[in-house]
Amino acid sequence: MYEAVLFDMDGVIVDTEHSVTEFWQRLARSEGFSIAPDDLERHVYGHRADHTLRELFPGISPDRYGEVYQRLRENQESLRYTAIPGVLRLLAELSDARVPVALVTGAQDWKAAEVLGQLDLADTFDVLICADDVALGKPHPACYQLAAERLSAAIGDCLVFEDAISGVTSAVTAGAACVALAAPHRAAQVIEAGASTVVRDFERISFDPYEHLLRVGGQTGFPFTTARESRRLRAN
């Protein structure tokens, strides 16, 4: 039985793959190279900016990181964000059913504030975990462990929605079940990372308030219970 839902942000709440790719490829071109698709998967999507800089930009010294962060912030704050299809409806259904929800992102708090403000979700999440809340970013499990702790939930009672391999690894290593959002050509990768099922978006995901069941694609169902009932079951 589950009692809380934890959402990644980029690629799960908002469609940002193109803008993220464009920023880092533009920076790479300015340094005289381009980033291979495999490196985007391994070191960009789902990762914090400091990880990307360390792994892919050895020519940029740490004393220049502040300059890159400022360019990244200006870029991200200039964008208009589009919600992943179906996610706003699902969040409303979870809210109506009083299911606790958390946003767990490797982005900085200013980006999370921009995204949530644009999508009118500023008051939606019970807990918000951003890059500076943990010492180690995804794929380390700390961010999801902290989110569960702040929700007063056992991590094993949390269902996570992720899109990046690093994020799926983080969630599963923490001890949560994970549903991955991925295109068909990436499905095998996220399953290998530990996702229990794969979907393109949230269009065929819904929360049934009568059966207290989160349905995925009409086939897979995740049963939920109230936080009070879950704590009672753990105590027994």
SS3 231: helix
**What's the confidence (pLDDT) of residue 16?**
86
**What's the confidence (pLDDT) of residue 232?**
47
CA-closest candidate to residue 98, choices 218, 230, 10, 235: 230
Q: How far apart are CA 207 and CA 214, in angstroms?
A: 4
* CB 137, CB 55: distance < 8 Å: no
Contacts of 7 (CB under 8 A, 6+ apart): 13, 87, 101, 102, 103, 104, 125, 160, 161
* Superfamily designation of domain 4-15+81-235: HAD superfamily/HAD-like (3.40.50.1000)
Q: How far apart are CA 112 and CA 108, in angstroms?
A: 7
- Fold match, 4-15+81-235 / 17-77: no
Strand 158-162: give its sheet, edge to edge: 127-129, 101-104, 4-7, 158-162, 177-181, 197-199
**What's the confidence (pLDDT) of residue 46?**
83
Q: Across the 236 residues of the chain, what is the mean pLDDT of every consecutive 10-residue run?
A: 97 91 94 94 90 96 95 91 97 97 96 96 97 96 98 97 96 98 93 96 95 86 76 50
Where does 19-167 show beta strands of DSSP type E?
101-104, 127-129, 158-162
**Residue-range domain boundaries for the chain:** 4-15+81-235, 17-77
Q: How far apart are CA 179 and CA 161, in angstroms?
A: 5
Q: Which class is domain 17-77?
A: mainly alpha
**What's the confidence (pLDDT) of residue 236?**
47
**What's the confidence (pLDDT) of residue 234?**
54
**What's the confidence (pLDDT) of residue 131?**
94
Q: How far apart are CA 210 and CA 230, in angstroms?
A: 18
**What's the confidence (pLDDT) of residue 108?**
92
**What's the confidence (pLDDT) of residue 41?**
86
